[in-house]
């Protein structure tokens, strides 16, 4: 067993639970690691309540141990698969061009991930912290890459370094507006991220805005700094053309070093080459950690396709234990959040906690058979999200839920990716209204709205979400008093 950081464990667990939401991880460990062409592939042995899987990093993928009984077999297949999925030359060049700023981009990406997982004040503030870290990393890398002043301020003095670097990159009166734009973008990102870190009124939109501002400012500064470090003029000194492109290659006098120089696309002028990457940095093409094995693994069936979680077993494989169907996960966001109502349809249902569906908004506009409005999670962009509840249930009961929901008559199945209360992505079944059944003029019956309210409060949805998206909705009385009475009887029954 190899050592693994908490971040590695969390990343692999989150990936597996995203790919296999119906399986429960009972044990996991990193058992082997191998680097091929500077890409590291860690092999993880994952045990679940049903079967076992390999998860291999370096373009992460998972492989059934039924189909790949030997680790070496799975790793060989994975590496071969990844090598057959080459990056384009353009992406490779882009990666080299911004090589010194890799840590900055990683921190911006971490901030972006935090935005998708944030659904509370603490989560929004955490995005602010990550954006500040990315901006501090930016000026730190810039300080390490060049000497900007003979009297440097403190390393973490962001405002002072912004002034120094901006003045150096864009000097003179002709660059006044360019300089103002660069400094303004950096100052705005820094001020907003600091505000977000401490404010008590932060929202998801604020978190997304902080990430966007940081991404924009860092991209602008990185481009200018890299041009300065590589000696790229604003225009060709020979013909005045702005069309300067990077040209890369090796030099026989210094083998193993990649050089880059600016080249004019119009007249062919070339600038001074500078070294940007040591191609022979002392690392072997392949490095390994963990136990090596001479054991040979042979597949028991021809490899026709790669098994995925939930796929039926291939006939020639050994038989697996039979038993009751494995539970799957359902995302409820309307009246089915009420345990009493859902258990009428799925007696086995068990609440797993709150989850958020990004990019959707809650509406009571799905036309029902009783002519009233029912809930729908409408795709509406990433400035909105629907909060609901995850339930596990026996898939044998799904047909009854389909019938109750009216699949084929206004609702359709959908597999959505939600973010649970632990910040992990999970795939779940839900029901969304079809476009021909959406009518924004409809209103819900009061008993239906009461089900949604009761379910939201029962499951602990945020009070501000309940107030804004459920309580504020206007309801009407059901003209059929018998139906109203029957539904309210269910509503008052204990959810058990």
Q: Is pLDDT above 60 for 120?
A: yes
Q: What is the pLDDT of residue 312?
A: 66
Q: Which residues have a Cβ under 8 Å from the Cβ of 185 and sit 6 or more positions away?
A: 213, 216, 217, 220, 221
Helical H segments across 43-120, by residue range: 71-83, 89-97, 102-117
- The more confident residue out of 85 and 291 is 291
Report the C-alpha gap between 374 and 449 in whole angstroms: 9
Count of alpha carbons within 13 angstroms of residue 355, beta-carbon side: 27
**β-pair partners for 30:** 44
SS3 assignment, position 345: helix
At 143-181, the pLDDT tens digits run 887 778 888 899 889 999 999 999 988 888 988 999 999
Mean pLDDT, residues 108-137: 90
Per-chain mean pLDDT for the chain: 81
- The more confident residue out of 201 and 245 is 201
Residue 387 CA from chain centroid, whole number:
18
Claim: this prediction has a pTM higher than 0.85: no
pLDDT grade for 134, boundaries at 50, 70 and 90 = very high
Cα separation values, 261 from 203, 239, 243, Å: 45, 17, 14
- The more confident residue out of 354 and 422 is 354
SS3 assignment, position 281: coil
What sign does the CA torsion over 165, 166, 170, 171 have? negative
Choose among 81, 44, 76: nearest CA to 59: 81
Q: What is the pLDDT of residue 301?
A: 47
Choose among 80, 51, 71: nearest CA to 1: 71
Q: How is residue 230 annotated by DSSP? A: T
Write the burial class of residue 373 (CB in 10 Å: 0-12 exposed, 13-18 middle, 19+ buried).
buried
Mean pLDDT, residues 380-386: 81
Mean pLDDT, residues 194-205: 92
Q: What share of the chain has pLDDT > 90, as a percent? A: 36
pLDDT grade for 80, boundaries at 50, 70 and 90 = confident
Report the C-alpha gap between 154 and 149 in whole angstroms: 12
CB atoms within 10 A of CB 365: 19
Report the C-alpha gap between 277 and 306 in whole angstroms: 38
């Amino acid at each position: 067993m190899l050592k693994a950081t908490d971040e590695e464990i969390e990343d692999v667990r989150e990936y597996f639970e995203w790919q296999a939401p119906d399986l429960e991880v009972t044990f996991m460990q990193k058992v082997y690691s191998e680097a091929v062409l500077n890409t590291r592939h860690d092999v993880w042995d994952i045990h679940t309540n049903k079967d076992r899987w390999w998860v291999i990093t370096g373009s992460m993928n998972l492989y059934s141990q039924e189909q790949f009984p030997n680790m070496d077999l799975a790793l060989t297949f994975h590496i071969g698969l990844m090598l057959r999925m080459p990056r384009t030359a353009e992406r490779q060049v882009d990666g080299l061009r911004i090589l010194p700023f890799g840590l900055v981009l990683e921190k911006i990406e971490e901030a972006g991930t935090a935005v998708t997982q944030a659904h509370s004040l603490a989560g929004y503030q955490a995005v602010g912290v990550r954006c500040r870290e990315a901006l501090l990393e930016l000026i730190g890398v810039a300080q390490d890459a060049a000497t900007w002043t003979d009297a440097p301020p403190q390393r973490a003095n962001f405002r002072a370094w912004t002034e120094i670097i901006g003045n150096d990159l864009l000097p003179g009166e002709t660059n006044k507006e360019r300089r103002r734009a660069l400094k303004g973008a950096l100052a705005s990102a820094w001020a907003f991220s600091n505000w977000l870190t401490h404010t008590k009124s932060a929202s998801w939109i604020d978190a997304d805005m902080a990430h966007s501002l940081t991404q924009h400012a860092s991209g602008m500064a990185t481009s200018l700094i890299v041009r300065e470090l590589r000696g790229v003029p604003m225009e060709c000194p020979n013909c005045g053309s702005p069309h300067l492109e990077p040209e890369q290659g090796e030099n026989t006098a210094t083998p193993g070093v990649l050089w880059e120089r600016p080249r004019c696309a119009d007249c062919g002028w070339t600038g001074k080459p500078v070294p940007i990457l040591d191609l022979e940095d002392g690392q072997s093409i392949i490095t390994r950690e963990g136990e090596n094995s001479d054991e040979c693994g042979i597949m028991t069936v021809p490899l026709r396709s790669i098994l995925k979680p939930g796929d039926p077993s291939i006939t020639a494989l050994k038989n697996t234990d039979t038993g009751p169907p494995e539970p799957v996960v359902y995302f409820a966001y309307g009246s089915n959040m009420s345990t009493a109502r859902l258990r009428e349809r799925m007696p086995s249902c068990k609440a797993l906690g709150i989850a958020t569906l990004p990019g959707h908004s809650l509406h009571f506009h799905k036309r029902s058979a009783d002519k009233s409005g029912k809930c729908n999670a409408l795709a509406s962009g990433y400035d909105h999200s629907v909060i609901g509840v995850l339930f596990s249930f026996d898939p044998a009961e799904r047909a009854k839920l389909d019938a109750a929901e009216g699949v084929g008559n206004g609702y359709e199945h959908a597999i959505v990716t939600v973010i649970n209360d632990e910040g992990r992505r999970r795939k779940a079944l839900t029901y969304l209204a079809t476009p021909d059944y959406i009518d924004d003029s409809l209103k819900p019956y009061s008993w239906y709205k009461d089900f949604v309210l009761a379910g939201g409060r029962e499951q602990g949805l945020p009070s501000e979400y309940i107030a804004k998206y459920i309580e504020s909705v206007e309801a009407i009385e059901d003209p059929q008093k018998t139906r109203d009475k029957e539904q309210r009887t269910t509503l008052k029954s204990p959810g058990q």
